[in-house]
Amino acid sequence: MPEFRHYEHSREAKLFRNNKSQAVRIPADFELPGDRVMIHRDGDRLIIEPVRRKNLLDVLAELKPLGPEDQFPDIDDTLPPATEIDL
């Protein structure tokens, strides 16, 4: 019989089948935010963590700086403004 690690905040949960997948019924006091989780295995343990939505600062921090080939092209500044064009 496997030895279980007991933590200060631990509860037994129910496993059940959902079509071909195994699911776990998470007690209300362990409810996770959002509607997606990341699950990974650590030895014989499964770790379930909420997938946090990225905010704008997170997305901007992941952007790579523009390289020389990505810079805006030079434009012809000698063209008259659109308001001065007589049609």
Distance CA 16, CA 78 (A): 72
pLDDT on residue 66: 85
CATH code at 11-64? 2.10.260.10
Give yes or no for a contact between 38 and 51, defined as CB atoms under 8 angstroms apart: yes
Higher pLDDT, 51 or 2: 51
Q: Which pLDDT tens digit goes with each residue over 11-66?
A: 899 999 999 999 999 999 999 998 999 999 999 999 999 998 889 999 999 999 88
The model carries a pTM of: 0.52
